[in-house]
Amino acid sequence: MVKEKDKDLLPIHRFTGHQYSRLLNLRRGTIPRLIAVATFIVILYLLFGPTRDQSATQPPFPSSERNDTVDLSWNERLNWRRGQEEEIISRRSIYSPEMFQPKALKTNGLKPVTVVLLGWKRQEGLKTVVQYLAKYPYFKEILIWNNNKQARLNVKDFELNSTNAAHLEIRVFNSDENLHDLSKYTTCSMARYDHCYFQDDDWLNLYLDSIYTNFLRYPNLIHSNTMPIIHLEHRRWQFTNPAIDMHTGFTWLGCGAFIPRSKVLRFLAQLGSNGLSKDRLRVADMYFSIWTNQYPYQMSNPLTPLDQKEGWSDGVDQWRIVYQNIYDASSKLYEALAANAVDHFMREEEQPRPDQRDTRAPCLNDKCLFLTNIDPFPLPTSVVFDNVNVTQVRMQETQFDKLDFPSNDFWTKHAYHYAVDRDDNTCWNSYKAPHAGDYFGLHMLTAINSKHVTILSSQNINHLENVFAISTSTNGDRWVGFSPLYIYFPKIARLARTDSMNHVTCKYQPLKDAVVSSDPHRLHIGFLCPAAEPFRFLRIEFQRDLPEPFEVCSLGLEGFNV
């Protein structure tokens, strides 16, 4: 039981809309905040005023309170779970609190982040999440919005102190009303920093550094992560129509997502002007990513569940609600874009576009990311959305299912993360046969110096040395390349074109016979750059078309195996 202890030291905030708007004004009087205040007041009216939009098909929630029975059909979809107790305890960030001091931030390009968490019934889970997130120094602020009137929360409940959370400011808001999903967005609008991190209290995210590092490269986009099979599902739930600049996709946010606060403020304005019903506002998560009109940058990896009782998903007919609201979100976006009036929806597609993205999965040790341009799923433009021909999400799925992409079973066994999961017996499979120019590789969180790379495959690959070209980069933009077949292959001109600035040619370095493996599954490639500077990115590029899909079970550099 949570008690209201130490009242004077750490008062419990009980928030009303009025107090909320005062707080917004106090903390920074910028125009977006004023918009957010106005929007919030509209939203409060929508939530607590007379119920409108009676015609909305069926209320997303049953009128009674939640049904806490565990729905087995839902949980079956989560069968990728794996416990990682020892990992949870030993994980440490590669970033240090000093890097997030105001002075350091002026020059190092890092971004401090506000964590937004919701309190409901899983207080132990919430405490575990808070203590875990406190280990990561980019989280300089944690805002907890407690939607549970029966169990007030207090900052002290989280047992943080100057040892484990010196860099951190934590605030708890006890709400008198359950604002459901919506409270994530209103709370993020109060954040001190320009980016928020959302996570539910029933997961731990063991890949925070990896996802944060990828977020730093493209901080304008939503960065989320989910298990491979849900990633596959999300690929079906992309809604594209080039004629009206519609280029969006759905993502769950509860397993950990970095989000620009500007997108949240825009979303509040969208909610204010679209007059969604109360029931739909409660499931605002199903609208948010779609209404950004951008494809979220999503990683695919195993997840780590905490106690999952008492959740929203228990007992309600979740899939009906999900499908209805995702369709409603897409359909309303479509209408707005087609009307082409002045509104709060973005038209311009943000970079990098899906076909330019290559970060796919965090490494199991959270020290790197797996890269490949080979995407086994169709690009979003392969299915065009409009709300006349497509009247429900199932119809969109039917269109997508006609295309060529991996089956659930294939993807469960061969998703990206198996290349970097420290298990030689599980392998990423490219699904498509690689073409010349396709590549895979690593983005390491800290720079390393290495002169050879080892690829482990389920296939016989030790004769394929000349198939690959290696290039490295310190920043992911400027590449230093070498090819064992440099003089024979004119295609290297393509490499040279993209890497023209300060282009350095590295030499192929033959390995000693002893090193050249007798193991047919193992391929060692030696390389040597004259600049010899440590690098963070490594690309292994196919120099010619292969007849079959390629498998990578493991990758290794000197002192760095994944």
Residues binding ligand NAG (CB under 6 A): 67, 69, 71, 159, 161, 163-164, 315, 386, 388-389
DSSP state of 560: E
Closest CA to 288 of 319, 247, 251, 323: 251
* Nearest residue (CB) to ligand NAG, 130 versus 374: 130
Q: Are the C-beta atoms of residues 466 and 484 closer than 8 Å to each other? A: yes
DSSP string of 238-305?
EEEEGGGTEEEE----TT-EEEEHHHHHHHHHHHHHHT--HHHHTTTHHHHHHHTTS--EEEE---EE
Residue closer to ligand NAG by CB (options 331, 554) is: 331
Q: Which residues contact 108 (CB under 8 A, 6 or more apart)?
A: 99
Alpha helices for 28-141 (secondary structure H) = 31-48, 72-76, 85-90, 102-108, 123-133
Cβ-based nearer residue to ligand NAG, 157 or 201:
157
Nearer to ligand NAG, 323 or 489 (CB): 323
- In the complex with ligand NAG, the residue whose CB is nearer, 293 or 359, is 293
Of 71 and 87, nearer to ligand NAG (C-beta) is: 71
Cα–Cα distance for residue pair 265/38, rounded to 1 Å: 11
Of 32 and 315, nearer to ligand NAG (C-beta) is 315
In whole angstroms, what is the distance from residue 526 CA to residue 285 CA?
Answer: 48
What is the nearest approach in angstroms of ligand NAG to the Cβ of residue 437? 33
The CB-of-522 to ligand NAG minimum distance in angstroms stands at 44
Dihedral of alpha carbons 105, 110, 115, 116, sign: positive
Identify which of 531, 537, 538 has the alpha carbon closest to the alpha carbon of residue 502: 531
Q: In whole angstroms, give the CA distance from residue 468 to residue 555.
A: 14
Nearer to ligand NAG, 315 or 378 (CB): 315
CA distance 267 to 344: 8
Sheet of strand 359-362, all strands in order from the earlier edge strand to the far edge:
359-362, 368-372, 439-448, 535-542, 468-473, 479-482
Q: What is the DSSP letter of 349?
A: P
CB of 156 vs ligand NAG, minimal distance in Å: 11
* Least CB distance to ligand NAG at residue 492 (A): 43
Give me the half-sphere count of Cα atoms (radius 13 Å) on the Cβ side of residue 325: 28
| Shortest CB 166 distance to ligand NAG, Å | 10
Name the minimum Å distance from CB 314 to ligand NAG: 7
Whether the CB-CB separation of 534 and 449 falls below 8 Å is answered with yes
Would you give the distance in Å from CA 227 to the centre of its chain?
A: 11
Closest CB to ligand NAG among residues 243, 501: 243
As measured in angstroms, the least distance from the Cβ of 353 to ligand NAG is 22
Percentages helix, strand, coil for the chain (3-state, rounded to 5) are 30, 20, 45
Q: Where are the alpha helices (DSSP H) in 465-547?
A: 492-498
Alpha-carbon gap, residue 174 to 171, rounded angstroms: 10
Our CB check for ligand NAG shows the closer of 31 and 89 to be: 89
Rounded-to-integer distance, Cα 557 and Cα 1, Å: 50
Least Å distance, CB 243 to ligand NAG, is 8
**Smallest distance from the beta carbon of 389 to ligand NAG, in angstroms?**
4
At 151, the amino acid letter reads A
CB of 386 to ligand NAG, least distance (A): 4
Q: Which is nearer to ligand NAG, 378 or 476 (CB)?
A: 378
Q: How far is the CB of 69 from ligand NAG (least distance, A)?
A: 4
